[in-house]
Amino acid sequence: MIKKQYLLTLVLYILVCLSFQSCKKDEVTAPVTTVPTSTSTFTWKENAGALITADSAYWTTWSTGTGIRAYKGGMQNYFEINWASGNNTSIGAKALVTNNADFTFLKGTDSYDISSNQNLNITAFADNKLSGNFTFAVKGGQITSIQATFTDLPKK
């Protein structure tokens, strides 16, 4: 009798253990919220040719100036554009001076500068992102003009 009672108790205990294990608690998942992201772009045309898109582009600032950097294929296509005054992101024209390191475009082994004093246009600045455009006459190789547009460039 004791053996039968022991066996019955053991079977009930195993059944209870199995029933607890089979009841799984529902996982609580937090709702996923998507934040719209803006895509930064820097595109340009050389001599009114095909549209080229940079792999990476950003704006930067320092004590005496503000500028844009853009890369395509590493340093094979590299823009360095600088204008006066630190954190100068106000909307409007920014003067660039020739032979003053205000504009440099490296394409392969060629190095380009603007051929005369010209303006870059800032068209928007919001959430620390810079947008604008320029059309420059350049010197230094076979390219004579560069037209570019930049949108939502982040600060670095």
Provide the residue range defining the domain that includes 117: 41-153
Q: Does a structural domain hold residue 25?
A: no
C-alpha to C-alpha distance for 84 and 86, rounded to whole angstroms: 7
Q: Does a structural domain hold residue 47?
A: yes
Q: Does a structural domain hold residue 28?
A: no
Q: Does a structural domain hold residue 94?
A: yes
The token duo for 126 is 């919001």
Q: How many CB atoms lie within 10 A of CB 115?
A: 16
- Give the pLDDT of residue 14: 72
The CA-CA-CA angle for residues 72, 77, 113, to 5°, reads 140
- Give the pLDDT of residue 32: 64
pTM of the complete model: 0.75
- Give the pLDDT of residue 44: 98
- pLDDT, mean of each 10-residue run, the chain (156 residues): 66 64 60 67 98 98 95 96 92 94 96 96 97 98 98 97
**How many domains does the structure of the chain reveal?**
1
Q: Does a structural domain hold residue 35?
A: no
Sign of the CA dihedral running 72, 108, 50, 135? positive
Q: Does a structural domain hold residue 29?
A: no
Q: Does a structural domain hold residue 100?
A: yes
